[in-house]
Amino acid sequence: MAKVYLATDIGPRRELNEDIVADLGHETYVVADGMGGYAAGEVASRILAATIRDALAAESSFDEAVLKQAILRANDAILQTVRENPRYSGMGTTATIFHREGGEIVWAHVGDSRLYLLRNQTLSQISRDHSLVSDLVANGSITQEEARSHPKRNVITRAVGVETELDVDTGAFSTADGDILLLCTDGLTSVVPDEEICSMILASPEGEDVAKRLVRRAIEVGSHDNISAIVVKFDE
Ligand code: CA
């Protein structure tokens, strides 16, 4: 079994919370960060979570292909909603999911929300950001530090519900005793550095809602965005 903490907050400056966090059952979790005008981002992230929930309900075991297929179904469902409601044109959402199957984690990902693994007191980002600044860091044009304040840091290069063709990243790894997984949106990671996220999780006392604490920290240090986090602590 695992201890699971989920938190999401509209943040101090937004009129809507377009993020969604969900425990889909069967040790499967999702975060999504919707975008688009006229409340469309909220619609996109909610269609995504509902579609993935339905897709997975029909499955008995979840491998990378199954998670990828669930995201592709959500892609079709969002595009279909836009065809029926042109006012939602331009909406889309990030999607980052993981599932624990025995001693293995499988994950699937699109966009700039993140999956992290905290193991041996080290926080590692497992998912790769599909964002303009991530590409610029990768090709050496800017540093990681410059990326944090780059004027185009919000531009993502892949989202669910925007085009009929969608590349979904997937992966799998074995779990170890004491592993902690974090799923979060950029409302957290754009203002709270990885080192601080890591030390906050490690310092969190038994039973504290550490997801809520991370979200509160993002607000304290001035996040203008919606902020979401899911922390899953596997039993030692
Ligand atoms: Ca966001």
How many angstroms separate the CA atoms of 130 and 57, rounded?
Answer: 28
Residues lining ion ligand 1 (Cβ < 5 A) are 33, 185-187, 225
> What sign does the CA torsion over 186, 192, 197, 203 have?
negative
Q: How far is the CA of 199 from the centre of ligand 1 (A)?
A: 23
Closest CA to 99 of 124, 62, 128: 62
- For the segment 119-172, what is each residue's pLDDT rounded down to a tens digit? 999 999 999 999 999 999 999 999 988 888 899 988 999 999 999 999 999 999
Q: How far is the CA of 128 from the centre of ligand 1 (A)?
A: 16
Average pLDDT over residues 208-232: 96
Q: pTM of the full predicted structure? A: 0.95
Q: How far is the CA of 176 from the centre of ligand 1 (A)?
A: 30
| Most confidently modeled range among 18-27, 36-45, 67-76 | 67-76
Average pLDDT over residues 190-212: 95
Burial group, residue 43, by CB count within 10 angstroms (0-12, 13-18, 19+): buried
Q: Is the pLDDT of residue 37 over 90?
A: no
Q: Is the pLDDT of residue 1 over 80?
A: no
Residue 236 binned pLDDT confidence (cut-offs 50, 70, 90):
low
Average pLDDT value over all residues in the chain: 94
Q: How far is the CA of 209 from the centre of ligand 1 (A)?
A: 21
Q: How far is the CA of 137 from the centre of ligand 1 (A)?
A: 20
Q: How far is the CA of 227 from the centre of ligand 1 (A)?
A: 7
Average pLDDT over residues 47-56: 96
Domains of the chain: 2-234 (3.60.40.10)
Closest CA to 108 of 75, 136, 150: 75
Q: Is the pLDDT of residue 74 over 90?
A: yes
Q: How far is the CA of 10 from the centre of ligand 1 (A)?
A: 10
Q: How far is the CA of 1 from the centre of ligand 1 (A)?
A: 30
Q: How far is the CA of 46 from the centre of ligand 1 (A)?
A: 15
Closest CA to 110 of 67, 141, 50, 77: 67
Amino acid at 4: V
Q: What pairing do the DSSP bridges indicate for beta strands 114-119 and 180-184?
A: antiparallel
Instruction: For residue 223, give every residue at least 6 positions away whose Cβ sits within 8 Å of its Cβ, in sequence order, or none.
Output: 11, 12, 187, 188, 190, 191
Q: How far is the CA of 206 from the centre of ligand 1 (A)?
A: 29
Q: How far is the CA of 216 from the centre of ligand 1 (A)?
A: 15
